[in-house]
Amino acid sequence: MSNFKGFAFGILTSATFGLIPLFTLPLMAKGMQFDSILFYRFLFAALALTGIMVIRKESFHVEKREIPVLVLLGFFYTASAMFLFWGYSFMSAGIATTLHFTYPIFVTLIMLLVFREKTSWVTLMAIVLAICGVARLSINEGEMKLNALGVFIVLLSAVGYALYITTVNKSRVQKMTGRKLTFYVFVVSTILFAVKAGTNEGIQAIPDAMSLMNLVLLAIVPTVISNITLVLAVHNIGGTLTAVLGAVEPITAVCVGVLVFSEPFTPNLAVGILLIIIAVTLIILSKSIQHTLREIRRRLAHLNLLK
């Protein structure tokens, strides 16, 4: 039963995060700039988490030495969200979200280059597959299908999220509860987007009631719910299986783009998405694959000795 709940929470995590375009694109069509959209998203998300933590009587206390790390995490999370939304101006939401899903590859590269963690042939194969997948999404019959700047911008969103994950894992806040950590990251993101909007045209007013509903749903569904269910999934089935279930994320985004916004679903798009999902799954399961191969070799060697 615990495993079933874990799989359900893991699928819900990635499926809800993949719904970002569903609530975002109508807001952009109303003329809202992504600075304002993201400001309201994180403001409403922080308010929602405040209510949850108050109801559950959770402490908001943090140590002074944890504050710089929380600010840095907020900066990385903000950069990731900003570049992803900016990418929607250059390409379809499905492709943008799929490119963002390459973040586990950048996590691997950061761990290799910065923390000197050894990599494997499985990981290297996954990186090659991911590059091929990105190229397949970008090139159509010898011509560039996507704006090269747009691809670069969306990949920066993946890098930002990878930096966020590695900082959480390698910093002193790794033992902080998920809701408290997420709350302060959302607070920092809200402040940063308020400042950024202020340097441009300011924070826009919410156009109408439907836009308000989309903003609230954007804050609740792919922001608060996805983070809470992520914690529950990891608790029930562990981080590896939860991450594998993240493959639902780009599939959800593509389905939204095709079914709701009438975006074309081409063979190149299908192949590119498949290659990226395979690459990310290989990275996540690399240790399990290597262990299985070692076990197979051990058993084969044992059989040879018996002969």
Please, are residues 126 and 296 in contact by the beta-carbon 8 Å criterion? no
Q: State the chain's maximal CA–CA distance in angstroms.
A: 79
Cβ contact 28:37 at 8 Å: yes
Task: For 75-132, write each residue's pLDDT tens digit.
Answer: 999 999 899 888 888 887 767 877 887 887 888 788 888 877 776 777 778 778 877 8
Q: Give the pLDDT of residue 263.
A: 75
What stretches of 28-71 adopt beta strand conformation (E)? none
What is the per-residue burial (b if ≥16 Cβ within 10 Å, else e) of 115-130? Answer: eeeebeebbebbbebb
Cα 166 → chain centroid: 13
Which stretches of the chain drop beneath a pLDDT of 70?
1-2, 94, 119, 137-146, 235, 238-244, 247, 305-307
Q: Scan for tokens 């902080």, then name that residue.
A: 176
Per-residue pLDDT at 138 = 62
One-character DSSP codes across 209-220:
HHHHHHHHHHHI
Give the number of other CB atoms < 10 A from CB of residue 273.
24
- Our CA angle for 101, 148, 128, nearest 5°, is 50
**Token pair listed for 157:** 């969103």
> Is 195 within 8 Å of 47 (Cβ atoms)?
no
Structure confidence at residue 7 (pLDDT): 78
With CA atoms as reference, report the closest residue to 179 among 296, 42, 59, 40.
Answer: 59
CA distances from 123 to 16, 69, 272 (A): 28, 29, 18
Residue 238: predicted pLDDT = 67
- Residue 276's Cβ-count burial label (10 Å; 0-12, 13-18, 19+) is buried
* This prediction's pTM: 0.80
Residue whose C-alpha is closest to residue 101's, from 218, 15, 6: 15
Q: Distances from the Cα of 302 to the Cαs of 27, 170, 288, 294, 305, in angstroms?
A: 63, 40, 21, 12, 5
